[in-house]
Amino acid sequence: MTTETHRDDLASKTGMWLFLFTEMLLFGGLFVVYSVYRYRNAEAFHLAAEELSVFVGTINTIILLISSATIAMSITAIQKHNKKLTLLLLGITVLLGLAFLVNKYFEWGEHIREHIYPGSPILASRGQGDVLFYGLYFFMTGLHALHIIIGLVFICVIGRLIIRDKIVHDNFVLLENSGLYWHLVDLIWIFLFPLFYLIT
């Protein structure tokens, strides 16, 4: 049993950054697969991408960008001893994250109603390019949504720690690390959005 060593915020942040590298490489593998299949099925990917709603995608992008801003502001707020504002900003971040998921739910629901989902015979009849496009679409946005959920759980835990004064103006590295994670989730969406919605 080692006694608690002294706090090292820089170490925690270094660790978080290294972890974010691994997350980027995790999605990096998928980006490689996406580019290979896009190159091979350029036309099918082009047509399939036009079926996605750019409007919903744009709304979701704006939602995530604002939520990144609010969590960044909450870090400044806690440094200024403003506990109430910190919690308010975190609350907004969580609500925006949930709004993103709700949009995603309706978007997916729409596709599934039209029998566009992996393994569906109707999708299979539309050809291999469509199968791959939608396979990648569901897998990548699904994995991204999973990251959103994990991020939301983290932020809720952080909120609880702030209420109990475990995270305060001179000890907020956990909040900062959650912020980093949330920005990464945002960043990955910034790449997914053009890949699936904009490049047509």
Partner 1 sequence: MSTQRTIEESSYLEHKGRFKGIFSWIFSTDHKRIALLYLFSILTFFAVGATLGLLMKFELIAPGKTIMDAQTYNAFFTLHGIVMIFAVVIPGLPAVFGNFLLPIMIGAKDVAFPRLNLMSWYLYVIGVSLVLVSQFAGQGPPDTGWTFYAPYSFRTAGNMLPAVLGAFVLGFSSILTGLNFLVTMHRMRAPGMTWLKMPLFPWTLYATGWVQLLATPVVGITLLMVVAERTLHIGFFDPTLGGDPILYQHLFWTYSHPAVYIMILPAMGAISEIITTFSHKTIFGYRFMVASVLAIAFVGYFVWGHHMFTSGMSGTALYTFSILTFLVAIPSAVKVFNWISTMHQGSIDLQTPFYWAMAFIFLFMVGGFSGLILGSLAANVHLHNTHFVVSHFHFIVFGGTGFAFFGAMHYWYPKITGRMYDTRWANIGLVLFFVGFVTLYGPMFLLGMNGMPRRYFDYDEVFHAGNIVSTMGSWVLYSGLAIIIINLFSSLKSGPKAPADPWGGKTLEWTIPSPPPVENFDETPVITKGPYDYN
Among 62, 65, 112, 124, binds partner 1 (CB under 8 A): 124
All residues at 6 or more sequence positions from 156 whose CB lies less than 8 Å from its CB, including other chains: 94
Q: What is the spatial distance between Cα 185 and Cα 25, in angstroms, rounded to a whole number?
A: 13
The CA-based angle 91-97-38, given to 5 degrees, is 160
29 binds partner 1 (CB under 8 A): yes
**Residue 146 C-beta-side C-alpha neighbours within 13 Å:** 8
Nearer to partner 1, 29 or 113 (CB): 29
**Closest C-alpha among 183, 137, 142, 155 to residue 45:** 137
Q: Candidates 59-67, 84-92, 126-134, 177-185 — which segment interacts with partner 1 by CB under 8 A?
A: 126-134
Would you count residue 7 as binding partner 1 (CB under 8 A)? no
**Which one among 26, 65, 157, 198 touches partner 1, defined by CB under 8 A?**
26
What is the C-alpha to C-alpha distance for residues 73 and 11, in angstroms, rounded to an integer? Answer: 23
Q: Interface with partner 1 includes 8 (CB under 8 A)?
A: yes
| Residue 43 binding partner 1, by CB under 8 A | no
Does residue 14 belong to the site contacting partner 1 (CB under 8 A)? Answer: yes
Nearer to partner 1, 12 or 82 (CB): 12
